[in-house]
Amino acid sequence: MKALDDMTTAVEIYTRPGCGYCSAAKSLLTRKKATFTEFDVAKDPSWRDEMYDRAGEGSTFPQIWIGGTHIGGCDDLYALDREGKLDGMLESVKAVS
């Protein structure tokens, strides 16, 4: 498991296969031309425990961090976009190309 201080990726998203909310969140980030690192728990089950350590037990998929700040899930990401806050957050961590 990586330490929070070692996290260098601007946008991180924990996902699982067959998750419509995961697909929707990744789609929004892609439309925003944001680069992100995906942690698919089917590829490495330890990432599920890592997500729970970071977001809290019982958290649902996906869980998203921008610049080390825990955003929450898909609905939270879309809410930031509706409020006009997402673009600024992505730009502040240089996640957009």
State pLDDT tens for residues 18-55: 999 999 999 999 999 999 999 999 999 999 999 999 99
Give the predicted TM-score (pTM) of the model.
0.88
pLDDT one-digit tens code per residue, 15-26: 999 999 999 999
Compute the Cα dihedral for 86, 91, 41, 54 and give only its sign. Answer: negative
CA angle at 91 for the pair 53 and 65, rounded to the nearest 5°: 10
